[in-house]
Chains A and B, each alone.
Chain A
């Protein structure tokens, strides 16, 4: 018998008592009108010791330039923002940047798919303006531009909006560890500096 048949057979035998399958409602909080989700999002992102700033669309180019001043920057090929002097990564081209080449760069600028206020999370689905997964991982500084309209209140709202068929990266603050005496240290392998710019 194949391993597959044997395991499925054991599982069926284990459930031969015909247990009743339970159901339970999934709780969802009704939005509290007094809370501004964009403000909450900024606070919660900052709680992880990420840098957060808010600006208008008109201010964005200058803010971006300041955020990556003096750094060697990579951007995804379809980024709709102007980052002077940046290297462009095209995931589907033949001369895609190697991991070592990415490691030689300092920063990456991307957009996001959405932001979650309750948890201070940005979610990338690696669609337009976000690039393949490696570019937001290897450089040490990630600058992520989130439009205020992309911020949702809570995790269930994110699941309403996200496409299950895409690879997803949920990012809540910079890379961190508490493995040494439970002392939180920001920055291990992922970007040690996360900078979120919220455009309102």
Chain B
């Protein structure tokens, strides 16, 4: 069983621990740079990339800004195709629905496709409490689950583990949950993948209930879409008798045709491939093909709260490609665990406070500060989420939420200073220019003096970029690139 993020320390404390782990940093640097390079190559193949980003953002906005209509339409389409639609206000309600369906079929196990939504609601733990084992079938999720570990990246959850560690996990832990690893297993990635294939195949062949998320849900047609690489998704979506899909309400898109833009953006931005190996699209029940009982759980769990935030609602456009993680200098150094959430990196730094609200949990309140505001995340985002602006706005919200305290916490003081600088575009421009100039001589940013020290001493910051994001933006825009 995987661990959970409950009770994680605030970002600065967790980050300090992660920074001390050189193996972790080595793994992360290697991995993020590899994906970045691949992504840049395939994005450069499409001259229409910037227009695609604009279209992708508009497509998701069209859905989000008419979300009530789209959800009602999705429910109708799904129901007419033989699916049973459930609505879940929060994590507990969603877990209860899934457990009830599984129990109605008398099963003590389900097979699962990697899904952020089911991780977010802690489904595996909830099912375990009911005596139902939830087998993760994505290779990285399997590594995380067998290692009793936490995912650290949206796309490559075991990015923090190297091959030798994975071999050890397989050798020690596979036997307890099914077919053991072969005796002569080496740390060759091909052999490790084959061990996972053998271990999971018996589970796929016997499983009666499958659980998935969805990358997209089409209101017009009731189509659910799962984008994947290994074929474990197809196994879970096709072989069981019963399929339960937990779908965040922000996954809806209005029309079937909208998938065109999103499928051109997602694989290139995510794994750096022209197309991912497998994409499955299905609509409720198909007679004679695949699960004949299909449930869809529409999950709110804070999404409507995020939607009410006029600046932050754009975060719900996120298609979980993870490109923003791979370019983030903070993520590269501290890894995913420091964010204390299934959504790490720049998107996690805005999504978690938006979903949960600020002012009650210090861990959540620290996240909008887990950024140097360099702007690289915005530049790569395939749906143009302006993460730096949302971060700045959330910082101001955190400061407001803490304003009433008579003795301000040191963090709140530095937050206020940051908010002062960042809330005014001219001050921000000045601060960025200064740090950009200083960066030519400095290799590392010194910690802030005074009350801010506790925060900056945990951040082993890269040298500031030679050119600030704003300067770059103005320069490249003047050259005529699209915004």
Interface residues of A (CB under 8 A from B): 2-4, 6-8, 10-15, 17, 19-29, 44, 47-48, 91-92, 96, 99-100, 103, 116, 118-121, 126, 132-134, 137-138, 155-156, 159, 164-165, 167-183, 185, 187-191
User: Known: A99-B239, A167-B290, A172-B273. Is A187-B193 also a contact (CB below 8 A)?
Assistant: yes
The reply to whether A164 and B274 contact each other, CB–CB distance below 8 Å, is no
B365 within 8 A of A: no
Task: Please determine whether A189 and B200 come into contact, CB atoms closer than 8 angstroms.
Answer: yes
Instruction: A116 to B276: give the CA distance in the assembly, Å.
Output: 13
Return B160 CB to nearest CB of chain A, in Å: 11
Q: How many A-B residue pairs have CB under 8 A?
A: 238
**A23 adjacent to B260 (CB under 8 Å):** no
Query: Among A133, A138, A175, which residue has its beta carbon within 8 angstroms of that of B290?
Result: A133
Question: Is A189 a contact of B48 with CB atoms below 8 Å?
Answer: no
Contact residues on B (Cβ < 8 Å of other chain), bracket: 35 or more
Give per-residue flags for B68-102: 1 if the beta carbon is below 8 A from chain A beta carbons, else 0: 10011001000000000011110001000000000
Q: Closest CB of chain A to B227's CB: distance in Å? A: 9
Is A167's CB under 8 angstroms from B249's CB?
no
B277 contacts chain A at the CB level, 8 A cutoff = yes
- Supposing A19-B310, A170-B275 touch, asked if A182 and B156 sit within 8 A by C-beta, the answer is yes
Q: For A189, list chain B residues within 8 Å (CB).
A: 137, 197, 200-201, 204, 230-232, 234-235
Residues of B within 8 A of A21 (CB): 61-62, 65-66
Q: Shortest CB–CB separation between residue A105 and chain B, in angstroms?
A: 13
Which chain B positions have C-beta within 8 A of A8? 68, 71-72
Q: Which residues of B contact A171 (CB under 8 A)?
A: 277-278
B62–A178 contact, CB under 8 A? no
* Nearest residue, chain A, Cβ from B58: A24
Residue of B nearest to A156 (CB): B260
The chain B residue sitting closest to A136, CB to CB, is B234
B238 at the interface (CB under 8 A from A): yes
Contacts A4-B87, A12-B68: A25 and B286 contacting too (C-beta < 8 A)?
A: no
> Knowing A118-B274, A137-B231, A176-B229 touch, does A7 contact B139 (C-beta < 8 A)?
no
Q: Is the CB of B163 within 8 A of A181?
A: yes
When C-beta atoms are compared, the residue in chain A nearest to B235 turns out to be A189
A7-B283 contact given A15-B68, A27-B55, A134-B239, CB 8 Å threshold: no
Closest to B72 in A: A8
**Is B52's CB under 8 angstroms from A11's CB?**
no
Q: Is there an interface contact between A182 and B35, defined as CB atoms closer than 8 Å?
A: yes
Contacts of A26 in B (CB 8 A): 55, 260-261
Task: Name B47's closest neighbour in chain A (CB-CB).
Answer: A29
Is B408 interfacial (CB 8 A cutoff)? no
- B277 neighbours in A (Cβ, 8 Å): 48, 171-176, 190
List 5 other contacts, CB 8 Å, given A164-B221, A179-B143, A182-B159.
A7-B87, A159-B256, A164-B220, A169-B280, A190-B234
